[in-house]
Structures are given as structure tokens and as C-alpha cells.
């Protein structure tokens, strides 16, 4: 809870974590010269002698944002990413109905329904991708000048499909390295010729651990306990190494650029499923730091096992972790 006015600037936090995938009721009240925060009916934080009562001092204009802030994050007392990924319902601002909402994004393009239950991870619904500039990722070069290698670790859950999990590509060109699902197989490809294939386990699996490594001599794919490897050509390795160290390409998650209207469509479709963890050269990727992320992607929320599709509830609104709408308040379940 942050307060900034003519009297004081203060930021306070406390209490238990509420990013547990469950619904919580949050209430913020300005009573006299105190601001009170209640969680699930219990008083959690109280700040006294910091403000005047809002309703006792009419404003010509008041702006209310939900799911983000209307000021730059750098202007906060403690700078932080304020974009929320989660669901809100049963909104009530200043004891007023929601009929006065203006400038909201709740009915706009990319609006999502809410899952009955969620857990941690990034959900790709099969219609969007995220990309990272290679210049912002670790080079993989060591201080003792050992030979360069690339390591990608992914924990994922998905049903059999044709979809791109990950790809390394120069600009809008075909990928140099790709990792994708081909029905019941995981397929890794380097260049035009080197291809590794490993079958998905039979039956339901909550999450599969995958490790893809490329060094100067071979391409290796670890899928659970199974390991496959293939010798690679020097030219294939050098093309990947040069691109990565130049920082001029991009790393794609969940699909490839131009899918649907370019020849890249032949490389695969958008991935549908959950990426629970993505590490590249040892760095955990955060989708909030992506150069681009489709609004279709849930950055920090994956559906529960019973929720393979979107299941909306009257009055629920999904906030995708990329911005704010401008109306009311409510409860919030969100891993962030």
C-alpha cells in the first residue's frame, strides 16, 4: 500500500502472501486521517495521520486504475512492475455502481475470461507469442575463454499438438534453432539438417523437464530421463554462435513471427500449454521483460488441470500483466 499526498509519502507492505491462486477479498478505506487495508475481512494494515478523508474533500477530477498505475513506475517510492496478472470480480469503488466506468479495456480486443483455478506458470493459449532480444540475454561466454555453448531449460505441460515452444531466429527469417512439438514428439532442429526427436511420455504428466544443449560438436536433448544427441556440422554451430554473440537476433517463445501470412507458417503453429519455467544460459526468463508479448498470454497464471479452456464468470475480468483499466476494485488471485 502506497500513499503520496501533500502530507506524506509512504510505502508499507505486510501480511501473508495472496498470490496463491485463490480468491481474496481486499478492501481499502480512508477513515478520517487513517487509511486501512483489510484482507478477507481482517484488518491487515493501518496508517494513521497520513491523509484527509477523500469524501470530505471533493475533487474536480479523480482517476482510478485497476491492474496497473497511471504514473510511470519510476515515480513510485519503491520502483516496481505494477502490472497485474490475475482476475478481479465483485468490484465496488466509493460505494458506487460500475455504470460510470470510462476508458476501460475490459471489453476490448484480447479480453480474457477467468479460469476456475490457477497455478504458477505462463499460459500460451495457442494464439500468441513472446520474444526477447538476444542482446538482453546472457552471452554464455566464460571468463576463462572456454568454447561457447548454448543451454536452454524448459519445464512445460501440454497435450499432443503441432506447436513451436522456442526458436532462435535472425530478424524475420527462418529460425536457426527451434524446439517444437510434433504431435506426440518433441523435435529439436539446428539449421537445415540436424534434427533430434524424442517421444512424449504416455499418459498425463503435470510437467516435463527439458534441457536442450548445443556445443561445437553436438546437439543434445534431455526429455525427462531420456537423452538423445546428434553430431552437428561446424557451419550450423558457427551460424548459431555468431547470431547469439552478435545480439542481433531474437528468441521466440510459443510461436514464430508472421505465422499465418508468411512461409514461416510451415515451421509450425502457436504452442498451446504451460511453460512453468524457462532458463536460457542459466537466466530465468520473466515475460514482463520480454521485448514483445501477445496479450493472449497469461504471464504468471496457468489453468488448473480441469481447465483446459477459458471459463468466464459473470463480472470477472482478466488482467494480463501489461497495463491497466480505469474503473473499480475487487478480489485478486494471482501468482506474480
Higher pLDDT pick, 225 / 79: 225
Task: Give CA–CA dist 52/33, Å, rounded.
Answer: 5
Considering the entire predicted model, what is its pTM?
A: 0.76
Condensed to tens digits (0 to 9), the pLDDT of residues 14-36 reads: 777 787 778 889 998 888 778 88
For residue 247, give the DSSP letter: T
HSE, side-chain direction, 13 A CA sphere, residue 91: 24
For residue 230, the model assigns a pLDDT of: 93
237 grid coordinates: 554451430
On the question of pLDDT at 318 being above 70, the answer is no
Task: Give CA–CA dist 195/177, Å, rounded.
Answer: 10
On the question of pLDDT at 313 being above 50, the answer is no
On the question of pLDDT at 312 being above 50, the answer is no
| pLDDT band at 177; cut points 50, 70, 90 | very high
Residue bearing cell 520502483? 79
CATH number of 122-299: 2.60.120.200
Neighbours of 250 (CB within 10 A): 23
Condensed to tens digits (0 to 9), the pLDDT of residues 61-119 reads: 777 777 788 888 778 888 777 778 788 777 777 776 555 565 555 555 556 778 878 88
Q: Which of 183, 208, 207 is nearest to 197 (CA)?
A: 183
Average pLDDT score over residue span 269-275: 93
Residue 47 burial by Cβ neighbours in a 10 Å radius (0-12, 13-18, 19+): middle
SS3 246: helix
Task: Give CA–CA dist 136/152, Å, rounded.
Answer: 15
For residue 140, the model assigns a pLDDT of: 86
On the question of pLDDT at 202 being above 70, the answer is yes
Amino acid at each position: 500500500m502506497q500513499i503520496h499526498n501533500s502530507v506524506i509519502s509512504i510505502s508499507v507492505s505486510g501480511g501473508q502472501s495472496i498470490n496463491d491462486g485463490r480468491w481474496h477479498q481486499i478492501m481499502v478505506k480512508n477513515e478520517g486521517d487513517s487509511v486501512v487495508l483489510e484482507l478477507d475481512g481482517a484488518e491487515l494494515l493501518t496508517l494513521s495521520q497520513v491523509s484527509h478523508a477523500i469524501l470530505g474533500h471533493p475533487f474536480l477530477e479523480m482517476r482510478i486504475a485497476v491492474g496497473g498505475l497511471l504514473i510511470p513506475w519510476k515515480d513510485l517510492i519503491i520502483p516496481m512492475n505494477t502490472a497485474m496478472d490475475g482476475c478481479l470480480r465483485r468490484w465496488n469503488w466509493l460505494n458506487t455502481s460500475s455504470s460510470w466506468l470510462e476508458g476501460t479495456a475490459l471489453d476490448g480486443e484480447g479480453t480474457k475470461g477467468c479460469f476456475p483455478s490457477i497455478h504458477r506458470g505462463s499460459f500460451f493459449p495457442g494464439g500468441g507469442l513472446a520474444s526477447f532480444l538476444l542482446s538482453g540475454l546472457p552471452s554464455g561466454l566464460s571468463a576463462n575463454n572456454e568454447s561457447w555453448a548454448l543451454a536452454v531449460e524448459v519445464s512445460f505441460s501440454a497435450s499432443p499438438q503441432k506447436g513451436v515452444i522456442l526458436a532462435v531466429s535472425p530478424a524475420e527469417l527462418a529460425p536457426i534453432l527451434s524446439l517444437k512439438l510434433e504431435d506426440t514428439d518433441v523435435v529439436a532442429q539446428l539449421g537445415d539438417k540436424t534434427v533430434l526427436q524424442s517421444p512424449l511420455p504416455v499418459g498425463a504428466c503435470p510437467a516435463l523437464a527439458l534441457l536442450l544443449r548445443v556445443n561445437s560438436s553436438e546437439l543434445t536433448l534431455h526429455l525427462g530421463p531420456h537423452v538423445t544427441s546428434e553430431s552437428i556440422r561446424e557451419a550450423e554451430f558457427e551460424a548459431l554462435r555468431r547470431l547469439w554473440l552478435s545480439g542481433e537476433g531474437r528468441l521466440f517463445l510459443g510461436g514464430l513471427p508472421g505465422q499465418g501470412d508468411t512461409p514461416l507458417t510451415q515451421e509450425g503453429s502457436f504452442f498451446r500449454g504451460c511453460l512453468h519455467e524457462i532458463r536460457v544460459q542459466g537466466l530465468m526468463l520473466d515475460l514482463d521483460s520480454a521485448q514483445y508479448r501477445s496479450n493472449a498470454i497469461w504471464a504468471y497464471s496457468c489453468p488448473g488441470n480441469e481447465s483446459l479452456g477459458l471459463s468466464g464468470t459473470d463480472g470477472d475480468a482478466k488482467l494480463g500483466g501489461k497495463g491497466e483499466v480505469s474503473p473499480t476494485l475487487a478480489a485478486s488471485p494471482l501468482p506474480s
